[in-house]
């Protein structure tokens, strides 16, 4: 696989820093450019960023001069990862796409755009064909691909085997979300220490809507969304990393026995498992038998933070099945997911 020169937009923020940490020593992608706000532009990255990752800032980025997030300053770059804040992502990402620089974005802005893939490689890799409908450039060289919300990812990963095997009638879900999901400085400690906050602004609509696009069928290059209602409650808990979900699902076809549901989850195989993508977890889904698991502090880092862990699969009296799902919200649920998206796109020849 050829080497690509990658840029990072929003490089000084929490997501940007996670991109930098995860791309350290990446076999395909090399960070060549870092973009941030005008306040940081012109400074060496080591000076512009308030580094919050626990591992040290990689030497390879310390001296990179931070650029403005303008496409004309990134002409030497093959594609960019975007960790931009949603308040600025709409315009900046379009600017890059129009300039022929592909954007692999973690921002929410284009997730609902009918020509933009909302992508989890293990769930809907075929959706990347939507790119061909994008019209940012005449020759198709500039485009945008997005990854889902950090709760939508483990939710959809866990629903996928059930959707394929039984169909889904409806979902009731509660999320217990880690503080890292709010970025930095994010949640004030006085709000969350020894406490639960039963509300996260804007989160529940994403949990309701994104799984439907992700599980949708591609027809003539466009996605026909799946159609089932999701009722969601999003809460914040004093956990560093790892969003945990309690999920209840009513299926279209109720299996005779709950064990068939576990079996469907365990026997599910990722459609990209043969591609050898560097960041793809060996086991994208892990089903725990121990009813105490998964737990965010113990299991969020499994498979380099790219695994979705499932536990407590059991039948219910209201809906067919209840279970726990959990994944690392800033790796699988954000920067790591975007990197895996880029790897799939590179492998499929969309990055050139």
Place of tokens 């890799």: 125
Using alpha carbons, select from 122, 198, 184 the residue that is nearest to residue 153.
122
Smallest gap from residue 51 Cβ to a second copy (A): 10
Indicate which single residue of 57, 218, 283, 293 sits in contact with a second copy (rule: CB under 8 A): 293
Is position 285 an interface residue for a second copy (rule: CB under 8 A)? no
Question: Which residues are within 8 A (CB) of 58 and not within 5 positions of it... i.e. 6 or more apart?
Answer: 20, 21, 24
Query: Is the four-CA dihedral 346, 349, 350, 352 of positive or negative sign?
Result: positive
Indicate which single residue of 322, 337, 350, 351 sits in contact with a second copy (rule: CB under 8 A): 322
Active-site pick, 26, 69, 127, 150: 150
**With respect to a second copy, which residue has the nearer C-beta, 224 or 298?**
298
Q: End-to-end CA distance of the chain, in Å?
A: 11
Smallest gap from residue 243 Cβ to a second copy (A): 10
204-209: long-range contacts, CB 8 A cutoff, minimum separation 24? 204/232, 204/233, 204/234, 206/108, 206/111, 206/148, 206/149, 206/151, 206/152, 207/149, 207/151, 207/152, 207/155, 207/173, 207/175, 207/232, 207/234, 208/232, 209/112
Q: Do 52 and 184 meet the contact criterion of CB atoms below 8 Å apart?
A: yes
Interface positions, 192-211, toward a second copy (CB under 8 A): 192-199, 208
CA distance 254 to 309: 23
Is position 255 an interface residue for a second copy (rule: CB under 8 A)? no
**With respect to a second copy, which residue has the nearer C-beta, 229 or 276?**
229
Smallest gap from residue 242 Cβ to a second copy (A): 8
CA distance 311 to 51: 34
Is position 253 an interface residue for a second copy (rule: CB under 8 A)? no
Is 243 known to be catalytic? Answer: yes
Smallest gap from residue 195 Cβ to a second copy (A): 4
Rounded to 10 degrees, the C-alpha dihedral 94/341/285/166 comes to: 60
Neighbour tally for 42: CB within 10 Å: 12
Got the DSSP string for 247-304?
Answer: EEEEESS--SSHHHHHHHHHH---TTTTS--TT--S-SEEE--STT---HHHHTTHHH
Site string for a second copy, 43-72 (x = CB under 8 A): ---------x-x------------------
**With respect to a second copy, which residue has the nearer C-beta, 23 or 200?**
200
**With respect to a second copy, which residue has the nearer C-beta, 213 or 312?**
312
CA distance 338 to 120: 9
- The count of residues in the chain is 352
Active-site pick, 127, 243, 286, 328: 243
Smallest gap from residue 177 Cβ to a second copy (A): 10
**With respect to a second copy, which residue has the nearer C-beta, 165 or 187?**
187
Interface positions, 215-234, toward a second copy (CB under 8 A): 229-231, 233
Site size with a second copy, rule: CB under 8 A: 58
**With respect to a second copy, which residue has the nearer C-beta, 4 or 323?**
323
Is position 138 an interface residue for a second copy (rule: CB under 8 A)? no
Is position 137 an interface residue for a second copy (rule: CB under 8 A)? no
Is 169 known to be catalytic? Answer: no
**With respect to a second copy, which residue has the nearer C-beta, 3 or 195?**
195
Interacting residues toward a second copy by CB under 8 A = 52, 54, 170-172, 174, 176, 179-180, 184-199, 208, 229-231, 233, 235, 237-240, 244, 246, 248, 250, 291-299, 301, 311-312, 316-319, 322, 324, 326
Q: Which residues are catalytic?
A: 150, 243
């Amino acid at each position: 696989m050829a080497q690509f020169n990658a840029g990072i937009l929003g490089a000084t923020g929490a997501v940007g820093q996670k991109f930098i940490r995860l791309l350290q020593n990446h076999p395909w992608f090399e960070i060549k450019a870092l973009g941030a706000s005008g306040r940081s532009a012109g400074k060496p990255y080591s000076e512009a960023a308030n580094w919050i990752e626990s591992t040290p800032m990689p030497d390879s980025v310390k001296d990179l001069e931070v650029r403005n997030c303008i496409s004309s300053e990134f002409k030497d770059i093959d594609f960019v990862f975007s960790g931009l804040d949603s308040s600025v992502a709409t315009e900046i990402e379009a600017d890059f796409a129009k300039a022929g620089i592909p954007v692999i974005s973690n921002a929410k802005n284009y997730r609902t755009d009918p020509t933009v893939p909302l992508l989890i490689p293990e769930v809907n890799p075929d959706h990347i064909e939507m790119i061909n409908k994008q019209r940012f450039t005449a020759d198709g060289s500039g485009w945008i691909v997005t990854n889902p919300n950090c709760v939508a990812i483990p939710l959809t990963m866990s629903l996928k085997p059930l959707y394929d095997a039984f169909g889904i009638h409806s979902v009731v879900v509660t999320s217990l979300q880690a503080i890292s999901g709010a970025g930095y400085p994010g949640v004030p400690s006085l709000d969350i220490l020894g406490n639960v906050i039963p509300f996260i602004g804007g989160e529940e609509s994403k949990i309701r809507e994104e799984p439907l696009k992700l599980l949708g069928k591609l027809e003539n290059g466009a996605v026909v969304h799946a159609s089932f209602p999701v009722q969601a409650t999003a809460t914040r808990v004093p956990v560093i990393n790892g969003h945990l979900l309690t999920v209840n699902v009513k299926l279209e076809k109720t299996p005779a026995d709950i064990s068939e549901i576990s079996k469907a989850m365990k026997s599910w195989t990722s459609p990209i498992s043969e591609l050898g993508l560097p960041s793809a977890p060996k086991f994208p889904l892990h089903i725990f038998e121990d009813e105490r698991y998964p737990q965010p502090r113990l299991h969020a880092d499994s498979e380099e933070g790219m695994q979705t862990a499932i536990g407590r699969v059991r039948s219910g009296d209201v809906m067919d099945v209840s279970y726990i799902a959990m994944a690392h919200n800033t790796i699988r649920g954000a920067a790591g997911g975007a990197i895996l998206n880029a790897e799939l796109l590179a492998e499929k020849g969309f990055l050139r």
